[in-house]
Structure 1
Amino acid sequence: MTTPQRQRPVHALTVTGTEWLTPHMVRVRAGGPGLAAVPDNGCTDAYVKLLFFPDGRPEGAIDPAALRAAGRLVTRTYTIRARTADELVIDFVHHGDVGLAGPWAAAAKPGDDLLFLGPGGGYAPAPEADWHLFVGDTAALPAIAAGIEALPVGARATALIAVDHPADEVKFDTTADLDVRWVSPDSLVEEVRAVALPTGSGHVFAHGETGAMKQLRPVFAGVDRLSLSGYWRKGMAEPEFQESKRTDAA
Protein backbone atom coordinates (compact mmCIF):
# COMPACT_ATOMS: atom_id res chain seq x y z
CA MET A 1 0.00 0.00 0.00
CA THR A 2 1.37 3.39 -0.97
CA THR A 3 1.49 5.99 1.79
CA PRO A 4 0.16 9.35 0.54
CA GLN A 5 2.64 12.20 0.60
CA ARG A 6 2.15 14.70 3.41
CA GLN A 7 0.80 17.98 2.03
CA ARG A 8 3.12 20.83 2.85
CA PRO A 9 1.33 23.81 4.41
CA VAL A 10 0.83 26.98 2.39
CA HIS A 11 2.10 30.04 4.26
CA ALA A 12 0.37 33.34 3.64
CA LEU A 13 1.99 36.69 4.39
CA THR A 14 1.17 40.26 3.41
CA VAL A 15 3.57 42.58 1.63
CA THR A 16 4.55 45.46 3.92
CA GLY A 17 6.93 47.31 1.61
CA THR A 18 9.50 47.17 -1.18
CA GLU A 19 12.91 48.73 -1.78
CA TRP A 20 15.23 48.86 -4.79
CA LEU A 21 18.71 47.79 -3.64
CA THR A 22 20.35 48.07 -7.07
CA PRO A 23 19.05 48.69 -10.61
CA HIS A 24 18.44 44.94 -10.91
CA MET A 25 17.44 43.84 -7.41
CA VAL A 26 14.29 44.68 -5.52
CA ARG A 27 13.62 43.76 -1.90
CA VAL A 28 10.17 42.70 -0.77
CA ARG A 29 9.23 42.70 2.90
CA ALA A 30 6.23 40.74 4.16
CA GLY A 31 4.67 39.97 7.50
CA GLY A 32 1.41 39.41 9.29
CA PRO A 33 -0.05 36.75 11.61
CA GLY A 34 1.05 33.94 9.28
CA LEU A 35 4.72 34.63 9.95
CA ALA A 36 4.60 32.82 13.30
CA ALA A 37 3.76 29.57 11.48
CA VAL A 38 6.79 29.77 9.15
CA PRO A 39 9.51 27.55 10.65
CA ASP A 40 13.08 28.77 11.03
CA ASN A 41 15.35 25.93 9.87
CA GLY A 42 18.55 27.71 10.89
CA CYS A 43 19.93 27.72 7.33
CA THR A 44 21.34 30.86 5.73
CA ASP A 45 20.35 29.45 2.33
CA ALA A 46 16.76 28.86 3.47
CA TYR A 47 14.50 29.01 0.43
CA VAL A 48 10.78 29.07 -0.25
CA LYS A 49 8.61 28.12 -3.22
CA LEU A 50 6.56 31.18 -4.10
CA LEU A 51 3.10 30.45 -5.50
CA PHE A 52 1.71 32.19 -8.57
CA PHE A 53 -1.70 31.62 -10.14
CA PRO A 54 -1.94 32.27 -13.91
CA ASP A 55 -5.75 32.39 -13.75
CA GLY A 56 -5.97 34.26 -10.47
CA ARG A 57 -5.93 33.00 -6.91
CA PRO A 58 -8.59 30.32 -6.40
CA GLU A 59 -11.21 30.69 -3.72
CA GLY A 60 -11.04 28.60 -0.59
CA ALA A 61 -8.24 26.31 0.56
CA ILE A 62 -5.23 25.97 -1.74
CA ASP A 63 -4.19 22.47 -2.79
CA PRO A 64 -0.80 23.01 -4.51
CA ALA A 65 -0.56 19.50 -5.97
CA ALA A 66 -4.02 19.60 -7.53
CA LEU A 67 -3.61 23.15 -8.83
CA ARG A 68 -0.23 22.34 -10.33
CA ALA A 69 -1.62 19.25 -12.05
CA ALA A 70 -4.42 21.37 -13.50
CA GLY A 71 -1.98 23.98 -14.79
CA ARG A 72 -3.35 26.60 -12.43
CA LEU A 73 -0.23 27.01 -10.29
CA VAL A 74 3.42 27.78 -10.99
CA THR A 75 6.19 28.13 -8.41
CA ARG A 76 9.45 30.00 -8.25
CA THR A 77 12.27 29.36 -5.76
CA TYR A 78 13.73 32.25 -3.74
CA THR A 79 16.06 32.57 -0.77
CA ILE A 80 14.93 34.17 2.46
CA ARG A 81 17.38 37.05 2.71
CA ALA A 82 16.57 37.90 6.31
CA ARG A 83 13.94 37.45 8.98
CA THR A 84 12.91 39.41 12.04
CA ALA A 85 10.14 38.95 14.56
CA ASP A 86 7.85 41.00 12.33
CA GLU A 87 9.03 40.54 8.75
CA LEU A 88 10.41 38.11 6.22
CA VAL A 89 12.65 39.61 3.53
CA ILE A 90 13.19 38.28 -0.01
CA ASP A 91 15.43 39.90 -2.65
CA PHE A 92 14.44 39.46 -6.31
CA VAL A 93 16.66 39.82 -9.36
CA HIS A 94 14.80 41.95 -11.89
CA HIS A 95 15.43 42.01 -15.62
CA GLY A 96 12.57 44.17 -16.82
CA ASP A 97 9.45 42.36 -17.98
CA VAL A 98 11.30 39.06 -18.40
CA GLY A 99 10.22 36.22 -16.14
CA LEU A 100 7.49 35.93 -13.54
CA ALA A 101 8.70 36.66 -10.01
CA GLY A 102 10.91 39.64 -10.90
CA PRO A 103 8.11 41.65 -12.53
CA TRP A 104 5.78 40.68 -9.67
CA ALA A 105 8.26 41.99 -7.09
CA ALA A 106 8.80 45.22 -9.01
CA ALA A 107 5.06 45.89 -9.00
CA ALA A 108 4.35 44.62 -5.46
CA LYS A 109 2.70 47.02 -3.04
CA PRO A 110 1.71 46.91 0.63
CA GLY A 111 -1.30 44.69 1.14
CA ASP A 112 -0.48 42.23 -1.63
CA ASP A 113 -0.46 38.51 -0.79
CA LEU A 114 2.77 36.52 -0.63
CA LEU A 115 2.05 32.79 -0.63
CA PHE A 116 4.71 30.08 -0.45
CA LEU A 117 5.75 26.60 0.60
CA GLY A 118 8.78 25.85 2.75
CA PRO A 119 11.32 26.72 3.79
CA GLY A 120 13.98 24.26 2.69
CA GLY A 121 17.74 24.70 2.95
CA GLY A 122 20.93 22.94 3.89
CA TYR A 123 23.74 25.40 4.64
CA ALA A 124 24.91 27.62 7.43
CA PRO A 125 28.56 28.69 7.87
CA ALA A 126 30.35 26.43 10.35
CA PRO A 127 31.59 28.72 13.15
CA GLU A 128 34.54 26.43 13.84
CA ALA A 129 35.91 26.58 10.26
CA ASP A 130 39.31 28.25 9.83
CA TRP A 131 38.18 30.02 6.67
CA HIS A 132 35.14 30.50 4.47
CA LEU A 133 34.75 30.98 0.72
CA PHE A 134 31.58 32.21 -0.99
CA VAL A 135 31.17 31.90 -4.77
CA GLY A 136 28.17 32.76 -6.89
CA ASP A 137 26.27 35.13 -9.15
CA THR A 138 23.32 37.48 -8.67
CA ALA A 139 20.92 34.54 -8.26
CA ALA A 140 22.98 33.35 -5.29
CA LEU A 141 23.69 36.82 -3.89
CA PRO A 142 20.89 36.80 -1.27
CA ALA A 143 22.09 33.46 0.14
CA ILE A 144 25.72 34.60 0.02
CA ALA A 145 24.82 37.82 1.85
CA ALA A 146 22.88 35.94 4.52
CA GLY A 147 25.82 33.56 5.00
CA ILE A 148 28.37 36.36 5.24
CA GLU A 149 26.29 38.26 7.77
CA ALA A 150 25.98 35.14 9.93
CA LEU A 151 29.76 34.72 10.28
CA PRO A 152 31.32 35.11 13.73
CA VAL A 153 33.29 38.22 14.63
CA GLY A 154 36.69 38.14 12.93
CA ALA A 155 35.95 35.05 10.82
CA ARG A 156 38.26 34.80 7.80
CA ALA A 157 36.23 34.91 4.59
CA THR A 158 36.54 35.57 0.87
CA ALA A 159 33.67 36.13 -1.57
CA LEU A 160 33.84 36.05 -5.37
CA ILE A 161 30.56 37.26 -6.81
CA ALA A 162 29.70 37.72 -10.47
CA VAL A 163 27.56 40.74 -11.42
CA ASP A 164 26.81 42.26 -14.80
CA HIS A 165 27.57 45.85 -13.78
CA PRO A 166 29.29 47.64 -10.85
CA ALA A 167 25.94 49.21 -9.97
CA ASP A 168 24.73 45.70 -8.99
CA GLU A 169 27.29 45.42 -6.19
CA VAL A 170 25.92 45.52 -2.63
CA LYS A 171 27.36 46.07 0.83
CA PHE A 172 27.38 43.50 3.62
CA ASP A 173 26.71 44.12 7.30
CA THR A 174 29.37 41.89 8.82
CA THR A 175 32.01 41.79 11.53
CA ALA A 176 33.97 39.10 9.68
CA ASP A 177 37.41 39.68 8.14
CA LEU A 178 35.95 39.73 4.64
CA ASP A 179 37.62 40.12 1.25
CA VAL A 180 34.97 40.71 -1.46
CA ARG A 181 35.89 40.44 -5.13
CA TRP A 182 33.28 41.48 -7.69
CA VAL A 183 33.92 39.83 -11.06
CA SER A 184 32.20 39.50 -14.43
CA PRO A 185 30.02 36.42 -15.07
CA ASP A 186 32.31 35.30 -17.88
CA SER A 187 35.38 35.30 -15.64
CA LEU A 188 33.95 33.75 -12.46
CA VAL A 189 35.29 30.23 -13.02
CA GLU A 190 38.81 31.38 -13.87
CA GLU A 191 38.87 33.85 -10.98
CA VAL A 192 37.94 31.08 -8.54
CA ARG A 193 40.49 28.69 -10.02
CA ALA A 194 43.15 31.34 -9.41
CA VAL A 195 42.38 31.57 -5.69
CA ALA A 196 44.92 29.89 -3.44
CA LEU A 197 42.80 28.09 -0.87
CA PRO A 198 44.13 28.59 2.66
CA THR A 199 45.35 25.76 4.82
CA GLY A 200 43.24 24.49 7.66
CA SER A 201 39.60 23.53 7.81
CA GLY A 202 37.57 25.36 5.16
CA HIS A 203 33.88 25.80 4.43
CA VAL A 204 32.83 26.66 0.86
CA PHE A 205 29.46 27.87 -0.36
CA ALA A 206 29.39 27.86 -4.19
CA HIS A 207 25.98 28.29 -5.82
CA GLY A 208 25.08 29.66 -9.24
CA GLU A 209 24.71 28.69 -12.89
CA THR A 210 24.87 24.91 -13.31
CA GLY A 211 27.58 24.86 -15.98
CA ALA A 212 29.89 27.06 -13.89
CA MET A 213 29.31 24.99 -10.75
CA LYS A 214 30.18 21.76 -12.58
CA GLN A 215 33.47 23.29 -13.69
CA LEU A 216 34.26 24.36 -10.13
CA ARG A 217 33.52 21.10 -8.33
CA PRO A 218 37.06 19.68 -8.89
CA VAL A 219 38.55 22.89 -7.49
CA PHE A 220 37.03 22.11 -4.10
CA ALA A 221 37.82 18.39 -4.03
CA GLY A 222 39.97 18.69 -0.91
CA VAL A 223 37.73 21.06 1.07
CA ASP A 224 36.39 19.72 4.38
CA ARG A 225 32.91 21.22 4.01
CA LEU A 226 31.31 22.06 0.69
CA SER A 227 27.86 23.28 -0.34
CA LEU A 228 27.85 23.39 -4.16
CA SER A 229 24.69 23.68 -6.23
CA GLY A 230 23.43 24.86 -9.59
CA TYR A 231 20.55 27.32 -9.10
CA TRP A 232 19.78 27.76 -12.77
CA ARG A 233 20.90 26.86 -16.30
CA LYS A 234 21.50 29.21 -19.22
CA GLY A 235 18.55 29.37 -21.59
CA MET A 236 16.09 27.69 -19.22
CA ALA A 237 13.26 29.03 -17.09
CA GLU A 238 12.82 27.37 -13.70
CA PRO A 239 10.24 24.71 -14.75
CA GLU A 240 12.47 23.49 -17.59
CA PHE A 241 15.52 23.58 -15.32
CA GLN A 242 13.83 21.54 -12.61
CA GLU A 243 12.69 18.99 -15.19
CA SER A 244 16.25 18.74 -16.56
CA LYS A 245 17.53 18.06 -13.03
CA ARG A 246 15.02 15.25 -12.60
CA THR A 247 16.04 13.81 -15.97
CA ASP A 248 19.75 14.01 -15.12
CA ALA A 249 19.13 12.23 -11.82
CA ALA A 250 17.10 9.42 -13.39
Structure 2
Amino acid sequence: MKRLEGKIALVTGGSRGIGKAISLRLAQEGALVIVHYGSRRAAGEEVVRTIEAQGGRALAIGANLETVAGVTDLVQTMEQTLVSLTGQNRIDILVNNAGIGTSNTLEETTEEDFDAIFAVNVKAPFFLVQQSLRLLRDGGRIINTSSGVTRIAYPHIMAYNLTKGAINTFTLHLAKLVGSRGITVNAVLPGIVDTDVNAEWLHTPEGRQHAAEMSALGRVGEPSDIADIVAFLSSSDARWVTGQMVDATGGSHL
Protein backbone atom coordinates (compact mmCIF):
# COMPACT_ATOMS: atom_id res chain seq x y z
CA MET A 1 0.00 0.00 0.00
CA LYS A 2 1.22 3.49 -0.85
CA ARG A 3 2.18 5.60 2.16
CA LEU A 4 -0.36 8.36 1.50
CA GLU A 5 -3.22 6.28 0.17
CA GLY A 6 -6.54 7.94 1.04
CA LYS A 7 -4.89 11.23 2.08
CA ILE A 8 -5.66 14.67 0.66
CA ALA A 9 -2.86 17.22 0.27
CA LEU A 10 -2.81 20.91 -0.62
CA VAL A 11 0.44 22.13 -2.19
CA THR A 12 0.69 25.88 -2.66
CA GLY A 13 2.81 26.95 -5.59
CA GLY A 14 2.38 23.39 -6.81
CA SER A 15 2.52 24.11 -10.54
CA ARG A 16 6.24 24.67 -11.01
CA GLY A 17 9.71 24.05 -9.62
CA ILE A 18 9.92 22.43 -6.22
CA GLY A 19 6.15 22.66 -5.77
CA LYS A 20 5.55 20.70 -8.95
CA ALA A 21 7.95 17.98 -7.82
CA ILE A 22 6.19 17.82 -4.45
CA SER A 23 2.78 17.54 -6.11
CA LEU A 24 3.97 14.70 -8.34
CA ARG A 25 5.67 12.89 -5.45
CA LEU A 26 2.72 13.05 -3.07
CA ALA A 27 0.44 11.81 -5.83
CA GLN A 28 2.79 8.88 -6.46
CA GLU A 29 2.39 8.00 -2.80
CA GLY A 30 -1.38 7.83 -3.27
CA ALA A 31 -2.57 11.25 -2.13
CA LEU A 32 -5.25 13.26 -3.87
CA VAL A 33 -3.27 16.45 -4.54
CA ILE A 34 -4.75 19.93 -4.76
CA VAL A 35 -2.29 21.79 -6.97
CA HIS A 36 -2.45 25.50 -6.21
CA TYR A 37 -1.21 27.96 -8.80
CA GLY A 38 -1.01 31.74 -8.81
CA SER A 39 -1.35 33.07 -12.35
CA ARG A 40 -0.11 30.09 -14.38
CA ARG A 41 -3.33 28.16 -14.91
CA ALA A 42 -1.95 26.16 -17.83
CA ALA A 43 0.99 25.01 -15.70
CA GLY A 44 -1.30 23.92 -12.89
CA GLU A 45 -3.54 21.97 -15.23
CA GLU A 46 -0.51 20.36 -16.87
CA VAL A 47 0.65 19.03 -13.49
CA VAL A 48 -2.81 17.58 -12.94
CA ARG A 49 -2.72 15.87 -16.35
CA THR A 50 0.71 14.43 -15.59
CA ILE A 51 -0.48 13.05 -12.26
CA GLU A 52 -3.56 11.53 -13.84
CA ALA A 53 -1.50 10.00 -16.64
CA GLN A 54 0.56 8.28 -13.95
CA GLY A 55 -2.57 6.87 -12.34
CA GLY A 56 -2.88 9.45 -9.60
CA ARG A 57 -5.55 11.93 -8.57
CA ALA A 58 -5.27 15.72 -8.59
CA LEU A 59 -7.09 18.96 -9.20
CA ALA A 60 -5.87 22.51 -9.78
CA ILE A 61 -7.07 25.62 -7.97
CA GLY A 62 -5.90 29.13 -8.75
CA ALA A 63 -5.63 31.89 -6.17
CA ASN A 64 -3.61 35.06 -5.68
CA LEU A 65 -1.85 34.70 -2.34
CA GLU A 66 -0.67 38.32 -2.22
CA THR A 67 -3.70 39.20 -0.06
CA VAL A 68 -5.64 37.55 2.75
CA ALA A 69 -8.70 37.75 0.51
CA GLY A 70 -6.86 35.52 -1.96
CA VAL A 71 -6.07 33.05 0.80
CA THR A 72 -9.75 33.01 1.75
CA ASP A 73 -10.70 32.37 -1.88
CA LEU A 74 -8.32 29.39 -1.99
CA VAL A 75 -9.69 27.85 1.21
CA GLN A 76 -13.32 28.36 0.21
CA THR A 77 -12.82 27.00 -3.30
CA MET A 78 -10.90 24.02 -1.94
CA GLU A 79 -13.59 23.26 0.61
CA GLN A 80 -16.41 23.49 -1.92
CA THR A 81 -14.55 21.36 -4.44
CA LEU A 82 -13.71 18.67 -1.89
CA VAL A 83 -17.31 18.45 -0.71
CA SER A 84 -18.43 18.07 -4.30
CA LEU A 85 -15.83 15.40 -5.12
CA THR A 86 -15.53 13.46 -1.87
CA GLY A 87 -18.49 14.44 0.27
CA GLN A 88 -16.19 15.88 2.94
CA ASN A 89 -14.17 19.02 3.52
CA ARG A 90 -11.10 17.58 5.24
CA ILE A 91 -7.45 17.59 4.24
CA ASP A 92 -4.53 15.66 5.71
CA ILE A 93 -1.46 17.51 4.46
CA LEU A 94 -0.74 21.20 3.95
CA VAL A 95 2.46 22.15 2.13
CA ASN A 96 3.17 25.88 2.30
CA ASN A 97 5.49 26.07 -0.67
CA ALA A 98 4.41 29.17 -2.63
CA GLY A 99 6.92 31.97 -2.47
CA ILE A 100 8.55 34.76 -4.40
CA GLY A 101 12.10 36.07 -4.36
CA THR A 102 14.00 39.18 -5.25
CA SER A 103 17.55 39.76 -6.40
CA ASN A 104 17.56 43.26 -4.91
CA THR A 105 20.24 44.12 -2.40
CA LEU A 106 19.58 45.79 0.93
CA GLU A 107 20.21 49.17 -0.66
CA GLU A 108 18.03 48.47 -3.70
CA THR A 109 14.99 47.06 -1.87
CA THR A 110 11.99 49.36 -1.92
CA GLU A 111 9.07 49.37 0.48
CA GLU A 112 6.93 47.87 -2.27
CA ASP A 113 9.44 45.05 -2.79
CA PHE A 114 9.57 44.38 0.94
CA ASP A 115 5.79 44.34 1.38
CA ALA A 116 5.24 42.10 -1.65
CA ILE A 117 7.71 39.42 -0.60
CA PHE A 118 6.45 39.35 2.98
CA ALA A 119 2.85 39.16 1.77
CA VAL A 120 3.43 35.96 -0.21
CA ASN A 121 6.19 34.32 1.81
CA VAL A 122 4.98 35.04 5.36
CA LYS A 123 1.49 36.49 5.54
CA ALA A 124 -0.04 33.96 3.15
CA PRO A 125 1.22 30.85 5.01
CA PHE A 126 0.18 32.36 8.34
CA PHE A 127 -3.39 33.05 7.29
CA LEU A 128 -3.66 29.88 5.23
CA VAL A 129 -2.86 27.86 8.34
CA GLN A 130 -5.21 30.00 10.39
CA GLN A 131 -8.10 29.34 7.99
CA SER A 132 -7.22 25.69 7.23
CA LEU A 133 -6.74 24.29 10.73
CA ARG A 134 -10.45 23.54 11.01
CA LEU A 135 -10.16 21.45 7.83
CA LEU A 136 -6.96 19.64 8.80
CA ARG A 137 -7.55 16.25 10.33
CA ASP A 138 -6.04 15.33 13.67
CA GLY A 139 -2.77 13.56 12.97
CA GLY A 140 -2.25 15.71 9.91
CA ARG A 141 0.91 17.26 8.53
CA ILE A 142 2.05 20.81 7.85
CA ILE A 143 5.28 21.26 5.91
CA ASN A 144 6.70 24.72 5.24
CA THR A 145 9.28 25.47 2.56
CA SER A 146 12.01 27.57 4.13
CA SER A 147 15.57 27.98 2.85
CA GLY A 148 19.19 27.27 3.60
CA VAL A 149 19.73 31.04 3.77
CA THR A 150 18.53 30.85 7.37
CA ARG A 151 21.78 28.99 8.11
CA ILE A 152 24.10 30.35 5.41
CA ALA A 153 24.82 34.08 5.17
CA TYR A 154 23.67 35.30 1.75
CA PRO A 155 23.22 39.04 2.33
CA HIS A 156 22.49 40.21 -1.21
CA ILE A 157 18.88 38.93 -0.98
CA MET A 158 18.20 40.29 2.49
CA ALA A 159 14.42 40.69 2.36
CA TYR A 160 13.92 37.13 1.10
CA ASN A 161 16.18 35.81 3.84
CA LEU A 162 14.10 37.55 6.50
CA THR A 163 10.92 35.90 5.24
CA LYS A 164 12.44 32.44 5.58
CA GLY A 165 13.65 33.22 9.09
CA ALA A 166 10.04 34.08 9.90
CA ILE A 167 8.89 30.74 8.45
CA ASN A 168 11.30 28.87 10.72
CA THR A 169 9.94 30.69 13.77
CA PHE A 170 6.38 30.05 12.62
CA THR A 171 7.18 26.34 12.23
CA LEU A 172 8.56 26.03 15.74
CA HIS A 173 5.71 27.73 17.54
CA LEU A 174 2.98 26.21 15.37
CA ALA A 175 4.30 22.72 16.14
CA LYS A 176 3.77 23.40 19.83
CA LEU A 177 0.34 24.88 19.25
CA VAL A 178 -1.14 21.96 17.28
CA GLY A 179 0.82 19.09 18.82
CA SER A 180 -2.06 18.11 21.09
CA ARG A 181 -4.01 17.19 17.94
CA GLY A 182 -1.24 14.92 16.73
CA ILE A 183 -0.42 17.32 13.90
CA THR A 184 3.27 17.62 13.05
CA VAL A 185 4.80 20.80 11.66
CA ASN A 186 8.20 20.90 10.01
CA ALA A 187 10.16 23.10 7.64
CA VAL A 188 12.35 21.97 4.75
CA LEU A 189 15.35 24.17 3.97
CA PRO A 190 16.52 23.74 0.34
CA GLY A 191 19.80 25.07 -0.95
CA ILE A 192 20.42 25.82 -4.61
CA VAL A 193 17.97 23.76 -6.66
CA ASP A 194 17.81 23.42 -10.45
CA THR A 195 14.51 25.17 -11.13
CA ASP A 196 13.45 27.85 -13.59
CA VAL A 197 14.08 30.47 -10.91
CA ASN A 198 17.79 29.60 -11.00
CA ALA A 199 17.95 28.58 -14.64
CA GLU A 200 19.74 31.63 -16.02
CA TRP A 201 22.90 31.24 -13.98
CA LEU A 202 22.79 27.48 -13.30
CA HIS A 203 22.75 26.64 -16.98
CA THR A 204 26.14 28.15 -17.60
CA PRO A 205 29.14 25.88 -16.98
CA GLU A 206 30.70 28.37 -14.57
CA GLY A 207 27.51 28.96 -12.62
CA ARG A 208 26.70 25.28 -12.28
CA GLN A 209 30.23 24.45 -11.17
CA HIS A 210 30.14 27.22 -8.57
CA ALA A 211 26.79 25.98 -7.21
CA ALA A 212 27.92 22.35 -7.15
CA GLU A 213 31.07 23.23 -5.26
CA MET A 214 28.98 24.70 -2.43
CA SER A 215 27.56 21.25 -1.64
CA ALA A 216 29.46 18.58 0.28
CA LEU A 217 27.98 16.14 -2.24
CA GLY A 218 29.40 18.01 -5.20
CA ARG A 219 26.27 18.61 -7.23
CA VAL A 220 23.31 20.93 -7.65
CA GLY A 221 20.06 19.97 -5.95
CA GLU A 222 17.12 18.66 -7.97
CA PRO A 223 13.45 19.36 -7.19
CA SER A 224 12.96 15.64 -6.53
CA ASP A 225 15.58 15.81 -3.76
CA ILE A 226 13.29 18.17 -1.86
CA ALA A 227 10.06 16.42 -2.83
CA ASP A 228 11.28 13.11 -1.38
CA ILE A 229 11.91 14.77 1.98
CA VAL A 230 8.45 16.33 1.94
CA ALA A 231 6.93 12.93 1.15
CA PHE A 232 8.68 11.44 4.16
CA LEU A 233 7.52 14.25 6.46
CA SER A 234 3.97 13.81 5.12
CA SER A 235 3.88 10.12 5.97
CA SER A 236 3.35 8.18 9.18
CA ASP A 237 7.06 7.35 9.10
CA ALA A 238 7.67 10.91 10.33
CA ARG A 239 5.09 10.78 13.11
CA TRP A 240 7.69 11.53 15.81
CA VAL A 241 9.31 14.46 13.99
CA THR A 242 7.90 17.92 14.63
CA GLY A 243 9.10 21.49 15.08
CA GLN A 244 12.20 20.73 13.02
CA MET A 245 14.10 22.67 10.37
CA VAL A 246 15.25 19.92 7.99
CA ASP A 247 18.36 21.01 6.14
CA ALA A 248 18.05 20.02 2.49
CA THR A 249 21.05 21.86 1.07
CA GLY A 250 23.19 18.83 0.28
CA GLY A 251 25.61 19.95 2.95
CA SER A 252 26.21 23.39 1.49
CA HIS A 253 28.82 25.45 3.33
CA LEU A 254 29.41 22.87 6.04
Q: Same fold judged by TM-score > 0.5?
A: no
Structure with the greater alpha carbon radius of gyration: 1
Q: Using structure 2 for the length normalisation, give the TM-score.
A: 0.36
Report the structure, 1 or 2, having the larger helix content: 2
Report the structure, 1 or 2, having the larger strand content: 1
Q: Using structure 1 for the length normalisation, give the TM-score.
A: 0.36
